[in-house]
Amino acid sequence: MKKPIIDLKKINISIDNKNILSDVSFLMRNGEFMYLIGKTGSGKSSLLKILYGEIKIKDGTGEVAGMDILNIKEKNIPFLRRKLGVVFQDFKLLPDRSIEKNLEFVLKATDWSDKKKISDRISKVLEKVKLSETLKKFPHELSGGEQQRIAIARAILNNPELILADEPTGNLDPATSAEIMEVLKDINNNGTTILIATHDYDIISKFPAKTIRIEDGKFYQLQEKK
């Protein structure tokens, strides 16, 4: 059996003294593809923020990619994030620079310095998402679907063990959403674990996988539809 990449036990999430999730235990193994569903405000995004270190947990136990997120020190959060790739609904590309410079910025921020290796890695991830021709373009010159594929390329730059995608199809039409899901499934088929927080039930029906529902602060595993 593959080892866990996310292992949370009996954690509680409170923000501004408001209880979001209670007594949560959640296990995800290396190589899995999983959905996290729930109404807006149910705690999906809060859970993802715990996983990449933006919200600290104060009780229970939690490991993500082999790191203890209960006791993690601030200085070690960048090391955690290097093991993860995060994809957001609103892309979060830097508008004042080209796609090449967007991707270069991430690599330099994670201690890449060799210009040839940086250039080669950027070419490889753009080829992976089938957007090699966008290298010199700026984000505003791309469609929403293209921007999200660039965001996925950015997320896989450092060969992450785990990709966390927060409503990755939320701003896209159904056809473009399906294209994004094909890209994510392909990345998963190559061994990367992927957790998607979504309320897009259409993509879940088209791309079935293990699904966890959050309701009233609790987790429920749904039967996977084949």
pLDDT tens digits, one per residue of 153-209: 999 999 999 999 999 998 899 999 999 999 999 999 999 999 999 988 899 999 999
15 pLDDT band, cuts 50/70/90, is: confident
For 46, the domain range is: 4-222
More confident residue, 157 or 220: 157
Residue 17 — pLDDT band, cuts 50, 70, 90? Answer: confident
φ and ψ at residue 45, rounded to 5 degrees: -65, -35
Residue 226: pLDDT above 80? no
* pLDDT score for 225: 55
Dihedral in degrees, nearest 10, Cα atoms 151, 153, 156, 162: 40
Q: What percent of the chain has pLDDT over 70?
A: 98
pLDDT (tens digit, 9 = 90+) per residue, 96-111?
999 999 999 999 988 8
Residues 37-53 have pLDDT tens digits of 988 878 888 899 999 99
| Bridge partners (DSSP) listed for residue 222 | 211
Q: What is the C-alpha separation between 156 and 161, in angstroms, rounded?
A: 9
Ranking 18-22, 137-141, 172-176 by mean pLDDT, the lowest is 18-22
- Cα 184 to the chain's mean position, in Å? 10
What's the token pair of residue 83?
A: 């093991």
Q: The tokens of 52 are what?
A: 């990449």
Quick check: 127 pLDDT over 80?
A: yes
Cα three-residue angle 89-74-31, rounded to 5 degrees: 50
Predicted pLDDT of residue 174: 92
Tell me the pTM: 0.91
Specify the 3-state DSSP secondary structure of 33: strand
Q: How far apart are CA 223 and CA 212, in angstroms?
A: 9
In Å, how far are 8, 103, 158, 195, 217 from 26, measured between CA atoms?
A: 5, 32, 25, 12, 13
Q: Quick check: helix, strand or coil at residue 113?
A: coil
Q: Which two tokens stand for residue 34?
A: 């999983």
pLDDT at 223 over 80: no
HEC-encoded secondary structure of 147-159: HHHHHHHHHCCCC
CB neighbours (10 Å) of residue 25? 13
Which DSSP helix (H) or strand (E) runs through 50?
A: helix 44-51
Number of domains in the chain: 1
Amino acid at 146: E
Which residue has tokens 């959905």? 35
Assign residue 85 the CATH number of its domain: 3.40.50.300
User: Dihedral through CA 160, CA 183, CA 214, CA 221, nearest 10?
Assistant: -90
Q: What is the pLDDT, as a whole number, of residue 224? A: 63
